[in-house]
Structure 1
């Protein structure tokens, strides 16, 4: 029988004796009383005994171990009575489940459970896996370690998981009750950090003390290319690491970089507040500088803020505020505000100058599912016209060469009425960086009521001329401002604003004509409201004609008529089924349109253009209005348009395919012109120039070809003015080509990629530049950790399997532009340039790129940039160089990729003297 542990009993075996039975029994009783101890016992209900089948032989593997066994089952019962002493409370608050592949041995005398080979133990939130696990259920401790395989190599290292924290040591000793542990040669991950320590003492669930520890962001913590070494560490998982003396080691060589103490943030969140260390630079005309010194504020999970600053010893400085925000399933966006106070040279020198420049960028998008009937979006890029040319913290040639900054903020809402009503409010901004002229609308109101079909029957069928008649109502209100950089957001800017409202009611219908023709006709009524008009008179005091602004409501009304008719003509030329080119299909879509607008002379007045008052001219008080002015002359025009597409069917190279392959020869070939029925042949000419445009795709749709030309049927005189004489009657050809252009764009790479996954040079686009890298890549001096190249999906992997079977990625972008001008018989090439950008991985770890071009008219090399990058595993090194031109510069960077240690870098670059 199983007896209670810790008590001593003498077993009595009774056998039938036939001699001296009484004396033998009496002697046995006295011997037992002399050597034993007496206990008082209470009779308690007996509990089940561990079945003998669970007593596992240490040398055998029992299949029953595949079902987890609980430690609470390991109890012993007195064969007669239970001790009257109240049993101690179980040391575990829950069940312990365990299993092992080879064997699970229970030693009741030593209170040990030994698990061997792929051992696993589970208790509450603790998971422990190892080669060997020993559970001491009397001391409330568990030990886990490695085991050796058949070759003598250690295998099955322990894996200790408590909640979200995972430790992979050589061995571990853990107390279930105190939650304390001793861990030897532990390996763990905290965010981007990997930590290895010789000895780790787990004080409680939230505090660890480490001895002889290293920290690194390298993938291989056992053989890192760099690490931080320290002797004493206090580690709080998910929050921080505080160390004593810390030394940086690169390639197992200690460096002079050391700190008396160190603090490493270990937050689980994507970002943690902290100081951003600056980079050092020098400039010929601004002195020495510290760039990008700042602080990052992780304000919440929804938004953050980065504050950066630059300072030059001559007094120049710059400030930048960057913030990103997002609300899941609702909206997302970012804001960048940049300001720079630039001082050139030193006060007192002839080249001394001082100016302020700024740039504001805002991008916002709303999730369509958040509110299906309304939307809000913003794309803002405004500021000083010379910002990207003169900024001391921007290196982006594509932005420098862009002549336009534009912005748009819009809100739209749909009212689910019958008929449906749509409303939108839009604020726009367009800025020419060359002329510094700014055009803004603050705001534009658009309101439209859905089409109404008054003659449709109850069946809802709209067929024929009358049933297709429909009308609509549109309202367009606009507050237009035209200003310059110097007056931007000053009172005069708003005083010069022009306000107007345009009401329009279009009435239209469409129908079939002669079975094969589609016809449409429409009549449009417009009413324009203005809050300002002009009164024009000759001012004798100033001896000139002046316009006086008249404030007050005024309006004019116009109407017009238009009609069009078109058809589609199909033509196919068959070469034969046995030919490689089986057929060519030509689709033509000719159309004729007519438009008439009467004269609205009643809105015109006269004014004296000189002091005598004898020369009177006509004008309208609605001139310079937002929506224009009523026409003085009636318009009576015929329009002609012809669009063409050409497609071929060819034999497919794939012999298994039966159907021929379709190839587009010309995506479009369009011709358009018009005829003025009111032309007098003197002031106006009847025919307008013929505009030809077209485009196609070549080389497996990788090359886009677009072309256009303007053909004038009239001749010109010696002064270059068009005259009412056809060019062919003047000794020339039927048409005189006044201008033409052609562009080629070709892009190819070593492998096809989904366009949605490509790095589209986003920051360059936000600055107003191109999405490709023909003008180089955007260099953000505030974050040099970003690669100058498009990230490859297989980064870090070996990309070469054989010497002649290269898998190294590459890409080439090619653009060519040709422009011809002959408006005044100059007959010359106005523009002729080529640009090329190429990127390639010359080895699995080396990347190189070049952007360059040549202008055949100016006979010079266009902007050129050379790029090199080396993947140093946990580190990245790059060098970019623009060798010549007004934007010549170079830059070198080496630093840790991880955002947590982004301040550990060396960044040296020349500063463009702007």
Structure 2
């Protein structure tokens, strides 16, 4: 007989043949029963089933119904045996469309059709999911649809890492996984592997892998094929033998190993692979070889170099820096040692050129009371014409380089004070003349109204009287390329300071006139003056520089009177042009400056003893004071013309306003103290105007100079009015007209295309061609394009071909000495067009009607190769003729995979 208790402990009792004794049998049974009952020291509670069985039903579960699997807690504490803890130590949610079935015996939970499982930071979605509680493991895979096609691929996401394989097995306890045909994205890279082994949260091993930056990982334009990969998400990819495959065709490009940094937080330092080129005058070369230094999160440094076999070389240092809410900027320093031909040949030459660029901007949020900015572009005048690593067309055709560094500070005092320090640089690349101020100082104190009342109302002549203080100081240099930053440059420097105290007031006169009066006291300090004498040995007048402090003081007075006149010409509401409005603003200004001949000295002009006068401040920083009285009345008239026209839209009742002339200005002056010989009484009439036409797309500006005086046979202006000399009232000595027209069938209009060329001193449009930076040619209008190809093609052929055009026309007329000719007449045109959805083309050209020749011309072509870009630029004419071909991967991570071929000019 076997007696089984609830605790599953068994006691076997064997009965031998005994005498039938009922008492002994009952007593023995009762004793044994008590003995077995003493084996238990506490009551055992019934355990709850952690996974309730979900029976399959005909109706699917709704997506909003979530089931929860909670971790099991055992309340029984045994002395010798510890209960096994489940790996699922957190709340687990799951759902499925068809069914969720729990097998109690096998301890598995099966989710079918649109299955989802959520555990901690793990999200798993798939066609089928099987959760094994005994092995602490989950499996996910695809399912077949009604046509037998595998669908609902698994999507496994843990934290920021996401994988889309064919199937996956994951262990919750060890955190390891086996992933088959996984697809994942890491930054710009897309990775696909036949088998992926997840070692832990930060290390993956891949077998039979391909990685690319193409959009379609299953059918990429190119990929890198390798059999062994160690992958650390968001940090790096280390691969074994790797081969590049283009259009499923293996290439000879094989690497024994490769390392790809994939950090999203900080750039990684690394080598920049050079490109090969050749030149007829400098031999073979390696260009743009160097190293990128990721110094910190706030700044970096790129060092690049070129080397030619004839000894020419170039170095470039480029750095960008930024600090949020503080400042940002970049610095470029370029140096080139150019050698043409070989030593001993007649065309041999050697030259050093350089260029420095610095751009800095301070965030106004950091300190609203002070600003600091810099825009520097300085260096050799011939740099952009002769550089071996620049194709800056706009910069090459520009004749001026300029720089400015400024610091401004506002003091919140009463009255408010301001100070500004500025360093400027102007360089003419044709004459190689350089003008610099290092630095110039501007300081001012705001206007003070000494006669204003306690109520603060400034009304009338007296209460509007105000004065202020201005200070201007300069450390001025005028030099050339050859003397730049050499001792002679500093010896020729001029230092000066000018103080001024203007006093002014304004008031109404006769209700319709605005009147004003002002006077200005000015004191000028200089550290250099001149002493002019006649040198008998050289038989000419010479100026000797005198070092030492000197000063002069001047003052002047002026008053002005102006008004505004409105005139309207009505033509009737039934007319197309209903009315024209004319606004005139005439101004009359009288100014008087006395003679300051006390600051003039006598000197001998020639050997005959003729006496002349000069000022020691001649050729000085602020010029010399006036020797004669200046008693001048100036006239100015500004006009605007505006029309009201009937709107084409018949539903609108109000007429449409159109600006006919934005401005039409005339100005001249009359000097009462003119002597009629050196100074004529009337100044030429200056006429200027401008307007916008064709929906404000065409800007038209014009100007002319009208001289009332006649000229003699030698072309010199006489003190005789032109009308008294048998001519018209005015003689037009010069005139100009400029037109700029930009039009496009694109909705957004033209954008700035040539920001680097503008920074180099060129134009920001492409009338002089686009700027080609040979350091990095990946940027293009295709770079960020991620539209579906089919949609792009369909939209392209169902609409107009996108295009844009920019046109500039300039006409200049000159007749100062009866030459009566057109001195300038040219047109420039730039056009860009989307030839196909993947092809873009452009042309920049022009024609000079005076020189009768084609101006600068450039042809541009660009092809979008999805993850690749191909571009070709060709300038066929002139001394700047060149061509450049580029093909490479768009991704910045693989920017060294490219081929760049270009012509080299003999400049």
TM bucket (normalised to shorter chain) is over 0.9
> Which deviates more, 296-305 or 586-595?
296-305
> Which deviates more, 38-47 or 207-216?
38-47
Secondary structure, counterpart of 1:399 in structure 2: helix
User: 1:437 — aligned with what?
Assistant: 433
Q: Deviations over 1:792-838 (max 9, x none)?
A: 79696733436863254211001111111111111111011111100
> Paired residue for 1:636, among 623, 626, 631?
631
Distance apart, 1:695 and its partner CA: 0.6
User: 1:256 — aligned with what?
Assistant: 252
Counterpart check, 1:49 vs 2:48: yes
User: 2:815 — aligned with what?
Assistant: 822
Contact in 1 for aligned 2:132/2:138 (Cα 8 Å): yes
User: 1:647 — aligned with what?
Assistant: 642
Q: Deviations over 1:244-265 (max 9, x none)?
A: 2111111111112212222222
- The structure-2 alpha-carbon separation of the partners of 1:726 and 1:192, relative to structure 1 and needing over 3 Å to count, comes to same
Q: Superposition pairs for residues 452-601 of structure 1, below 5 Å?
A: 452-540=448-536, 542-601=538-597
Counterpart check, 1:659 vs 2:654: yes
Aligned equivalents of 2:745 and 2:866: distance in 1? 24
Q: Deviations over 1:844-867 (max 9, x none)?
A: 000010111111111111111111
Distance apart, 1:616 and its partner CA: 2.2
Counterpart check, 1:231 vs 2:227: yes
Distance apart, 1:621 and its partner CA: 1.5
Contact in 1 for aligned 2:398/2:761 (Cα 8 Å): yes
Structure 2, gaps ≥5 residues long: 1-5, 11-21
Distance apart, 1:285 and its partner CA: 1.1
Secondary structure, counterpart of 1:169 in structure 2: coil
User: 1:726 — aligned with what?
Assistant: 721
User: 2:313 — aligned with what?
Assistant: 317
- The structure-2 alpha-carbon separation of the partners of 1:797 and 1:525, relative to structure 1 and needing over 3 Å to count, comes to farther
> Paired residue for 2:669, among 662, 669, 674?
674
Q: Deviations over 1:383-433 (max 9, x none)?
A: 000111111111122111111100000000100000000111000000011
Secondary structure, counterpart of 1:725 in structure 2: strand
Distance apart, 1:41 and its partner CA: 5.2
TM-score, normalization by structure 2:
0.93
Distance apart, 1:85 and its partner CA: 3.2
Contact in 2 for aligned 1:592/1:638 (Cα 8 Å): yes
Aligned equivalents of 1:234 and 1:284: distance in 2? 46
User: 2:416 — aligned with what?
Assistant: 420
Q: Deviations over 1:569-611 (max 9, x none)?
A: 1111111111111111111111111111101111111122345
- The structure-2 alpha-carbon separation of the partners of 1:723 and 1:131, relative to structure 1 and needing over 3 Å to count, comes to same
Q: Superposition pairs for residues 767-806 of structure 1, below 5 Å?
A: 767-787=760-780, 798-801=791-794, 805-806=798-799
Distance apart, 1:91 and its partner CA: 2.5
Contact in 2 for aligned 1:845/1:871 (Cα 8 Å): yes
Contact in 2 for aligned 1:800/1:807 (Cα 8 Å): no
Counterpart check, 1:882 vs 2:882: no
Contact in 1 for aligned 2:50/2:70 (Cα 8 Å): no
User: 1:14 — aligned with what?
Assistant: none
> Which deviates more, 425-434 or 683-692?
683-692
Contact in 2 for aligned 1:49/1:75 (Cα 8 Å): no
Aligned equivalents of 2:783 and 2:633: distance in 1? 52
- The structure-2 alpha-carbon separation of the partners of 1:484 and 1:803, relative to structure 1 and needing over 3 Å to count, comes to closer
- The structure-2 alpha-carbon separation of the partners of 1:299 and 1:181, relative to structure 1 and needing over 3 Å to count, comes to same
Counterpart check, 1:305 vs 2:298: no
User: 1:848 — aligned with what?
Assistant: 841
> Which deviates more, 805-814 or 896-905?
805-814
> Paired residue for 2:144, among 141, 144, 148?
148
- The structure-2 alpha-carbon separation of the partners of 1:791 and 1:609, relative to structure 1 and needing over 3 Å to count, comes to farther
Contact in 2 for aligned 1:49/1:76 (Cα 8 Å): no
Aligned equivalents of 2:349 and 2:836: distance in 1? 48
Contact in 2 for aligned 1:227/1:248 (Cα 8 Å): yes
TM-score, normalization by structure 1:
0.93
User: 2:203 — aligned with what?
Assistant: 207
Aligned equivalents of 1:41 and 1:524: distance in 2? 114
Counterpart check, 1:695 vs 2:690: yes
Secondary structure, counterpart of 1:801 in structure 2: helix
Aligned equivalents of 1:709 and 1:622: distance in 2? 35
> Paired residue for 1:871, among 849, 864, 870?
864
- The structure-2 alpha-carbon separation of the partners of 1:316 and 1:831, relative to structure 1 and needing over 3 Å to count, comes to same
User: 1:19 — aligned with what?
Assistant: none
Distance apart, 1:135 and its partner CA: 1.4
Aligned equivalents of 1:400 and 1:459: distance in 2? 61
> Which deviates more, 648-657 or 698-707?
648-657
> Paired residue for 1:72, among 61, 65, 70?
70
Structure 1, gaps ≥5 residues long: 1-5, 11-21
Contact in 2 for aligned 1:799/1:807 (Cα 8 Å): no
User: 2:214 — aligned with what?
Assistant: 218
Secondary structure, counterpart of 1:364 in structure 2: strand
Contact in 1 for aligned 2:102/2:108 (Cα 8 Å): yes
- The structure-2 alpha-carbon separation of the partners of 1:657 and 1:45, relative to structure 1 and needing over 3 Å to count, comes to farther
Aligned equivalents of 1:292 and 1:703: distance in 2? 42
- The structure-2 alpha-carbon separation of the partners of 1:799 and 1:87, relative to structure 1 and needing over 3 Å to count, comes to closer
- The structure-2 alpha-carbon separation of the partners of 1:458 and 1:90, relative to structure 1 and needing over 3 Å to count, comes to same
Aligned equivalents of 2:786 and 2:829: distance in 1? 24
Aligned length: 887
Contact in 2 for aligned 1:180/1:202 (Cα 8 Å): yes
- The structure-2 alpha-carbon separation of the partners of 1:752 and 1:563, relative to structure 1 and needing over 3 Å to count, comes to farther
Distance apart, 1:60 and its partner CA: 5.4
CA RMSD of aligned residues (A): 2.7
- The structure-2 alpha-carbon separation of the partners of 1:102 and 1:308, relative to structure 1 and needing over 3 Å to count, comes to same
Aligned equivalents of 1:75 and 1:369: distance in 2? 56
- The structure-2 alpha-carbon separation of the partners of 1:48 and 1:422, relative to structure 1 and needing over 3 Å to count, comes to farther
Counterpart check, 1:621 vs 2:616: yes
User: 1:160 — aligned with what?
Assistant: 156
Contact in 1 for aligned 2:882/2:903 (Cα 8 Å): yes
Secondary structure, counterpart of 1:798 in structure 2: helix
Contact in 2 for aligned 1:305/1:323 (Cα 8 Å): yes
> Paired residue for 1:189, among 166, 185, 188?
185
> Paired residue for 2:890, among 884, 897, 901?
897
Secondary structure, counterpart of 1:770 in structure 2: coil
